[in-house]
């Protein structure tokens, strides 16, 4: 237990809180300590009963049942893996910028969830973060099941197709891809590649709360120039239950690095 506690404390702040709250609220709901209905996203209770906590609990809560347990563990691994690598990679030293990305993606997920009646936001939120990492590491080769390999830029779409074919779903993954693409386009593609004005900027109040550490750059707003170097070094590449970094010449066992 002490080893687990030490590992958990060693995680960067936002990955640690996101992971911890997700596990905590899911366990509370699993044992009925908090009613399921009070945790999911619903428009009427938010507006008419002022239950303003629902957008947050809809992100952190996931129903644990025998049929959803494996999917929950996959989501946890993706959450841990890609959030950790973003927070300690291109956002290293820039906690306010990473928090702003999480808040932007979360708000977009909440808006879409209210419009199309998505009650749980874990899947789209995790996919949005995964999408951002994949766009920042497009040329990194990842492994999928049965030894298949492809560039990281295709991983979100492979996950979407996999869910669509196997489970007949995919709408949550598609929402996550759309949200992640919106952030990446507004923050990186439009101002950097298309020459447009910067439409997204981290609010100064977040810098006041979470100032940049040494080496951080205030006003993070362009895809890092070192991203191509990271590919050659293998640094900042992400793994996962379905997709793992491949730079050592052999495949991975499912769920391993």
CA torsion through residues 49, 55, 56, 61, sign: positive
pLDDT tens-digit readout, 35-76 = 989 999 999 999 999 999 999 999 999 999 888 889 999 999
Structure tokens of 46?
């938010």
Asked if 101 and 91 touch (Cβ cutoff 8 Å), the reply is yes
Which pLDDT score, from 0 to 100, does residue 250 have? 36
pTM for this entry: 0.82
Determine the pLDDT at residue 229.
41
Confidence grade of residue 162 (pLDDT, cut at 50, 70, 90): confident
Gap between the Cα atoms of 29 and 24, Å rounded:
9
- Could you read off the pLDDT of 106-150 as tens digits, one per residue? 999 999 999 999 999 999 999 999 999 999 999 998 887 777 788
User: pLDDT tens digits, residue range 90-109?
Assistant: 999 999 999 999 999 999 99
């Amino acid at each position: 237990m002490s080893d687990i506690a030490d590992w958990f404390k060693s995680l960067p702040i936002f990955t640690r809180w996101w992971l911890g709250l997700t596990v905590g609220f899911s366990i509370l709901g699993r044992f009925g300590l908090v009613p399921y209905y009070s945790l999911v996203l619903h428009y009427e209770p938010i507006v008419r009963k002022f239950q303003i906590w629902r957008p947050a609990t809809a992100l952190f809560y996931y129903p644990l049942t025998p049929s959803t347990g494996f999917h929950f563990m996959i989501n946890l691994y993706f959450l841990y893996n890609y959030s950790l690598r973003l927070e300690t990679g291109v956002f290293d030293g820039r906690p306010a910028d990473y928090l702003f990305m999480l808040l932007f993606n979360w708000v977009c997920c909440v808006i879409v969830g209210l419009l199309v009646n998505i009650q749980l936001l874990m899947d789209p939120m995790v996919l949005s973060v995964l999408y951002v990492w994949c766009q920042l590491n497009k040329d990194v080769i990842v492994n999928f099941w049965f030894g298949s390999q492809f560039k990281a830029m295709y991983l979100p779409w492979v996950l979407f197709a996999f869910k669509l074919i196997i489970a007949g779903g995919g709408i949550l993954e598609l929402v996550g891809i759309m949200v992640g693409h919106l952030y990446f386009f507004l923050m990186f593609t439009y101002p950097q590649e298309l020459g447009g004005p910067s439409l997204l900027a981290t609010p100064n109040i977040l810098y006041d709360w979470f100032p940049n550490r040494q080496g951080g750059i205030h006003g993070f707003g362009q895809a890092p120039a070192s991203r191509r170097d990271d590919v050659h070094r293998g640094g900042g590449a992400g793994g996962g239950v379905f997709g793992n970094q491949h730079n050592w010449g052999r495949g991975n066992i499912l769920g391993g690095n």
